[in-house]
Structures are given as C-alpha cells and as structure tokens.
Structure 1
Amino acid sequence: MYDEATVGARLRELRRWRGMSMQTLADLAGLSQGHLSKLENGKVALDRRSHIAGLAAALRVSEVDLVGGPHLTPDPVQSAPHGHIPALRATLQANALMLPTTDWARPLADLTAAVLDELEPLRRACDYTAIGERLPDVLDELHVHTADPHDEQAQRIALRALVEACVCATFTAKNLGYPDLAYAAAARAAEAAHRLDEPVQVGKAAFLKVQTMPKTSQERTRLMAGHAADALEPYAGRPGALETLGMLTLSASLAAATLRDKAGAEHWLAEAARLAKRVPDEPMTNWQSFSTTNVGVWRVTIEVEQGAAGAAVLELTKGIDEAKLGRSSRKASFFADVGCGLARDRRTQREALHWFGRAEKVAPQRIRNSPTVREAVAVMLAQAKSVAVGRDLRRMAARMGIPH
C-alpha cells in the first residue's frame, strides 16, 4: 500500500532496469536475497550507508539515483530552505577565489562577525531558510576581500572567514540533498585553505571534502581522512587543531564502519576519544562540536551503521549528557540516528517515533529533509498494525510528505 513512499520501490525499478535478478544484485551488493527482498518490498529500511553504497555500486548508479534527491512537499518548514539554493549555487559558481563577480563589500570586520556570530549559530540550529537569506551575499563579499592584494593581513582574515562560510554552505547543501553543491563549497574552502597554507585551515577543508564524498567511495573517504589527520598531527598544539583532528578521526571511523571494518572503526573511534580528553567537553563552543560528549554521539552513529537495533541502541545512549548538546545540529542527528536504530525492531518502533519527534523539535528543517528519517518513517508506516501507532505515524508521515 505504501511501496511508492519507500526507497525499496525505486530499488526494484533500478534492478529491473539493469536486467538483474534479485540473486545477482544481492550477490554483487554483499546482501542476502532475503534481505534484498525485504528492502524492495518496504519491509525493512534502506538506512545503512554500507547497504546504499553496495547497491548503488552494483547497479552502477549514484546514491542520489537510488535514495532520491530533495523530496519537496507543500510544508513550508520543509520546502522553504530550497528556495535559497539557486542563489547559493550562483554565488559559488560565479565567483572564483581571486576573481569576484561583485565590486562592493561590507567592511571585513562586519563580514567576519556575520560568519561567526550569525551564520555559525544558524548552522548549528539547522535554520537553513535564515542561512539562505544571508549566506550568498556573505560569500560574494568575502570573495571581494580575498581578491584584494593591498593588505595581506586582511586578505588572510578574509580567507579564514571564507573557509568558515564554506563550512556553513557545505552542510546546508548536503543536508538539503544537493551533494554537488556541497562539494563545490568544500572545494572552495580547500582553495582558500591552501592559499593560506595554514595546517589547521587545510585540515578543516579536508574534513569538508570528506563529508561530501559519495557513499560509494568510502575506501577513498577513509584514506583521505586518515591522510589529512596524519598531516595535521604534527601541528596538534595550534589553536583549533585538536578539534579538527578529532573530526577527521571520527570521519575515518564512520568510513571504516561503512566498509564493514569493525576493527578499523573502533581504532579511529578510540583515537578520537583520546584526542577529546585534551579539549574541554563543551560541544556548543568547540569547532564542529568535537568533545568527549560528541565522541559518544558519534559512537551511536557508528554502531547504528554497523547494524545496532532496538534496545541495544538505547543502551548506547546511556552516559551521553544531552544538555551539553543544546539545540544543535549534532543533537538532531543523534536523536535521528537513535530513532533509525530503534525503528529496525518492531518492539521499539513506538520509541523510535518518539526519538524522531525529538529530533524534529530540535531541527525541523533538517529532519523533514532527511532521506534516512523519511525512509524509516515510510517503512514503519507500511509495517504498522496498531491503530494508535498508525495514527502517530500518519501525523509524522504527513509532515514529511509521505503518502499515508
């Protein structure tokens, strides 16, 4: 009844388009035929990076072809942020690092404040509509200052601000479902960082590039994250280096988990935990929230990627001080990951819906645009037997534009 709402329906269509039998695709993707059948029929969610990567590679399609691009609905909370994507795309495509396409800019101090005091809090709050209203102009104007050769010190300040603005652009585009635009923002950050020739900025840009790699390239992602971490390690004493190094190690751990390398995932996670002990446990102020608390949150993500489900996922949440996460993007991701793990077990699907609701309350624009959450809700809806559970699910499905 709800097959059209799940990724499984698209998966079946792509398999048939390629002329593959179910057994052939299952063998190529490293899955059992029974599990593939459940995926195609919407009985289990396609919510693990490793499964998405394996199936996309076997079908020779991109992950966007498989899981779908932005899913727009009449809901303004979900759809409004997408109205600003054309302007963001235009500014990234039109400007070059030393060749701006506008000749006017606010004073550099005002732009730096706009990045750190306006855009960064909005990014943490996942307010993509407000970001979209401000970010394109900030990027345009920062390019004016980075191209000005008359004051080298000011130019360097502008380049650092551009890297941070591209952090905001990368995650806004990525979380709204525009991977090509996210990569363009990460590439611009890399240009600015390499012009600065500052190890911490180069590390930040590498982290962004790692975050925009397709799921089908996780071996490259792991190597990139590892190489970037190794390059930054000698400069760990510089301001911001430990946080950047920590985020690279966490990225390497998740990539290893996606590759089904449990030992590698645990190695990098342990390294991240070691680094986190050297910084204050203050996720709301550290770069990208890196901290001991954030390492615990990433452990949940990594364990869910490796197949954790049901009550075992709840056990992983113990000891994580949610208050330290504030109303942040990281908190919303944490709640959503817990929800996805709980949704895999019918015995904990009521709790899954509760965690999804918490994630939505923290960051409605992000969660209503999350393909992973949408897939989990669609599959739960297809499975629902209880009238009470069905009613709650239908409310969430309606907000996410899922046929119900």
Structure 2
Amino acid sequence: MTDEPNTYIGQRVRAIRARRGITQQVLADRAGLGRSVLAKYEAGLRPIDSRRTMLALAQALGVTLGDLTGHEQDKLDPSTAGFHSVVPELEAVLWSQGNVTDTRLPRSLEELATAAKEATLYRQNGDYAALGPLLVPMLTDSFRHVRDNGSPQAWDIHGAIVYGVASALRSRGYEALSWTAAQESERAARETGGTASLAAVSYLRSQILMSRPGALPAALEQSEQVADRLVPDVRTRGDIETVGMLHLQASLVSATMGKDPQPHLAEAAEQAGRLDDAPAGASQARNRTFGAANVTLWKMSAAMERREPGQVLDLEPTLSPADLPADARRAQFFVEVGRAHTMQRDHRSALNALLRAEHAAPQHARAMPIVRELVGHMMRTARRDLTTGDLGRLAQRVGVVPV
C-alpha cells in the first residue's frame, strides 16, 4: 500500500514541523504537550493514540488530520479501489442533483428501498469494495424520484440513501464531499420532518466536524443540542436509534474535549432500554447498530479518549462481540481492546486484539489510522519474535511496511 517504510504519525509531525521551521518546544506549547512527550512521539517511542492529541497537533501545525494520518494511503489499497474509483461520479451526481447522462429507467421506489438496505449492510460491515459499485446508480435513481415524483415516500428513501453515501464518503476520508451529501440529506429531512432523519443528519455532521482541527466545540454543539431538542419527540424505534446514536456521538466528543461523557452515555442507555417496546415506524431512517451492546462499546471508546485503559479492559468481558450487530462495530471493539493493551505495554495481547479486528472487518480495520499507528509502534518496540511473525505480516497488510 505504500513505498514509504515504517511510517507513523510522529514521523509526519516531525517532517511538517521541520518544514515550518518550528522548534519542538514551540510546537509542544501550541499543542498543550510537554516537550519530552512530543520528542517521544516524533521518535516513534510512543504512539499517538488519541483523537485529542492528533487534533491538537494538526491544529498547531496548520494541517488536516489526513496530513498526519496518511489517509491518502487508503486510495492505493487494491481491496477498496472499486469504491474510490466511483467518487468522481458521486461528486457529479451530488453537484447536479442527479441530472447526469444516465439513460437507464429508474428503479421503482420499492426496489430502491431494498437496494438502500443492502447498501447499508455493506457499509456497516465495512465492505466498501461491494458497496462502491452500488452507490452511483442508486443515488441517481433517488434524485430522479424526488424530482419527478416528490412524494413523502420518495423523499424518505432519498434521505436514507444520501445519508448512507455521506457516511461512506466520510469513513473513506472524503470529508468535504461528505458534507455536501449531508446537506442534501438535511434537505430530505426537512421535507419529511421526521425525528430520526433529523437526528441522523446531525450525527453525521458532528462526525465530520470532529475530524477538523479546531471544530470540536461545533461538533459537540451539533450533537448535544440537537439530541436534547429531539428527545421529547422520540416515538418510534428509528427515532430511538438515531437520537441514541447522537447521544453516543456527544459522549465521544465530550471525552475528546476532556469533558465528562457520562451524562450522554446515561441518556443513550436509557434510550436503548426503550427499544423493545417502541413501535417500528414507517421511515427508512434507522440505525440498527444502536442498542445496549453498542452503548458499552462507546463507553470503551470514551474511556480510551480519556486515557483510561483499565476501564476498557474491565468492560471487555461484559460485552460479547457477537452482540454487536455489524462487522465494523465488532472490529471497533477489538481495536479499543488493542489500544488499551498497547497503553499498558502488553504487545502480545494488543496484537491478538488487532488481528481479531482485522478478521471481523478487514477493509475497515486495515484503513483505520489508529491501527496503523499501533502496529507501527509495536514494530519498533516489540520483541523480535513478534515482529517477524503475525505482527510483521499485519504490518504489511495495513501498509506500515512495504509488501
């Protein structure tokens, strides 16, 4: 995936700092770090394993998060080439609102709803190779229905499809185009007026903002205020799922900002407790990954952002990965466990967890910057019997060292 051997975030920090003519002390002061800690990051003696630190360094250097994580490497991964190849077409469809040179007869709304559910499963399972070819024709058909029909059902299905497109684009590093798709998703949400669709848009906006240095306050406001405003309107299962996810997002942003995530985690747990008794509802706006198991997973993520690995390992036996209803969520569970073990310098347990994450959702796990960072750190610091075996092969698959 890359010809640059053993790359890591601290190495990129050092290179950008040198180009800027900034001393370690100045950068450390700007990012709110100790100079000795920054020196360890740059030398590869300590992994940069939290969003908060990465965002602080990106802001202090005046670069994007992708500049530090090497996100462009994803586009060279042959397993997801099919997704990246359709992005220019997606851009054209979004900008033109479906007015493109496509002579196909659009599918019926019922067929389109079925296709949207199939695409959602691929996205939630991290199978971007299978997802990519579905997106352009599905989005084109969706735009045509709202332009030619404009019925509430057409707008509801359109909102679900464009939300899925935006979410997939964000996860693959196309944040600006994802924001464009999110704006279209909001237009659909305004047409339907549904609580679930409005919550889903805010969740997505908050996630995109969270990837931008300096935008954490806006990310928290987008998730926190909208969640609080929508809670009284929660009725259906879809409402509960999407508003619950919005609270989970607010908990993670809070933890990243050094605030207490517990109020939002408690609210999410309360919403999860209402799922069994809630009516299904007719809207396509859903997030079926939400539930009690997912709340526990986000507790683990929030604990890692607060550098509390002991809490993550205490939560690990309380959550069975099989209870998480999507492969990408199961991969996230093992990544959080791997992060916790790395922080406690248990490299063998960390490697085992990361291998299980890769097994759960290969494309998703291999593209995660935190996985690359942890694998690279272990390659530099673990015992040789680890680096020449499974760890060395994993390092090749995630692009830390050349194949």
Same fold, TM-score > 0.5, yes or no: yes
CA contact 1:95–1:101 (8 Å) conserved in 2 = no
Distance change in 2, residues 1:3/1:45 (3 Å): farther
Distance change in 2, residues 1:101/1:160 (3 Å): farther
Q: Shift in Å at residue 359 of structure 1?
A: 1.1
Q: Shift in Å at residue 345 of structure 1?
A: 2.8
Q: CA RMSD in A?
A: 2.4
Q: Shift in Å at residue 7 of structure 1?
A: 1.1
Distance change in 2, residues 1:198/1:141 (3 Å): same
CA contact 2:6–2:376 (8 Å) conserved in 1 = no
Alignment partner of 1:15 is 2:32: no
Q: Residue in 2 aligned with 1:93?
A: 95
Aligned counterpart in structure 1 of residue 171 of structure 2, from 170, 175, 181: 175
Alignment partner of 1:228 is 2:226: yes
Alignment partner of 1:69 is 2:65: no
- CA distance in 1 between counterparts of 2:300 and 2:197 reads 28
- CA distance in 1 between counterparts of 2:400 and 2:300 reads 27
Q: Residue in 1 aligned with 2:28?
A: 26
- CA distance in 1 between counterparts of 2:75 and 2:175 reads 20
CA contact 2:45–2:377 (8 Å) conserved in 1 = yes
CA contact 2:92–2:100 (8 Å) conserved in 1 = no
Residues 204-223 of structure 1 aligned to structure 2 (within 5 Å): 204-213=200-209, 214-216=211-213, 217-223=215-221
Q: Shift in Å at residue 67 of structure 1?
A: 1.9
Aligned counterpart in structure 1 of residue 196 of structure 2, from 196, 200, 204: 200
> Match of 1:303, as an amino acid?
A
Residue aligned with 1:162, SS: helix
> After superposition, what is the alpha-carbon deviation per residue over 1:237-266, rounded to whole angstroms, capped at 9, x for unaligned?
2442111111111111111111011x2x11
> After superposition, what is the alpha-carbon deviation per residue over 1:256-293, rounded to whole angstroms, capped at 9, x for unaligned?
111011x2x112111111221111499xx972411111
Distance change in 2, residues 1:330/1:388 (3 Å): closer
> Match of 2:109, as an amino acid?
L
Aligned counterpart in structure 2 of residue 382 of structure 1, from 380, 383, 386: 380
- CA distance in 2 between counterparts of 1:76 and 1:241 reads 38
Residue aligned with 1:403, SS: coil
> After superposition, what is the alpha-carbon deviation per residue over 1:81-123, rounded to whole angstroms, capped at 9, x for unaligned?
3233333333223326xx676564111111111112x112212
> Match of 1:336, as an amino acid?
V
Alignment partner of 1:245 is 2:247: no
CA contact 2:312–2:336 (8 Å) conserved in 1 = no
Q: Residue in 2 aligned with 1:334?
A: 333
> Match of 1:344, as an amino acid?
M
Aligned counterpart in structure 1 of residue 257 of structure 2, from 246, 256, 259: 259
Q: Shift in Å at residue 70 of structure 1?
A: 2.5
> Match of 2:121, as an amino acid?
P
CA contact 1:336–1:359 (8 Å) conserved in 2 = yes
Q: Residue in 1 aligned with 2:281?
A: none
CA contact 2:82–2:132 (8 Å) conserved in 1 = no
Distance change in 2, residues 1:79/1:357 (3 Å): farther
Q: Shift in Å at residue 74 of structure 1?
A: 6.7
- CA distance in 2 between counterparts of 1:83 and 1:366 reads 17
- CA distance in 1 between counterparts of 2:277 and 2:66 reads 36
Distance change in 2, residues 1:401/1:139 (3 Å): same
- CA distance in 2 between counterparts of 1:367 and 1:80 reads 17
TM-score by length of structure 2 reads 0.90
- CA distance in 1 between counterparts of 2:34 and 2:62 reads 19
Q: Shift in Å at residue 72 of structure 1?
A: 4.3
Residues 79-118 of structure 1 aligned to structure 2 (within 5 Å): 79-95=81-97, 102=102, 104-116=105-117, 118=118
> After superposition, what is the alpha-carbon deviation per residue over 1:319-359, rounded to whole angstroms, capped at 9, x for unaligned?
1122222452211122122212222232x211111111111
- Paired residues, number: 390
CA contact 1:100–1:147 (8 Å) conserved in 2 = no
CA contact 2:296–2:319 (8 Å) conserved in 1 = yes
- CA distance in 1 between counterparts of 2:268 and 2:325 reads 21
Structure 1 runs (4+) greater than 6 angstroms displaced? none
- CA distance in 2 between counterparts of 1:238 and 1:364 reads 34
Alignment partner of 1:156 is 2:152: yes
Residue aligned with 1:207, SS: helix
CA contact 1:70–1:369 (8 Å) conserved in 2 = no
Residue aligned with 1:287, SS: coil
CA contact 1:47–1:375 (8 Å) conserved in 2 = yes
> Match of 1:359, as an amino acid?
A
> Match of 1:108, as an amino acid?
L
Distance change in 2, residues 1:337/1:83 (3 Å): farther
Residues 274-293 of structure 1 aligned to structure 2 (within 5 Å): 274-280=270-276, 287-293=287-293
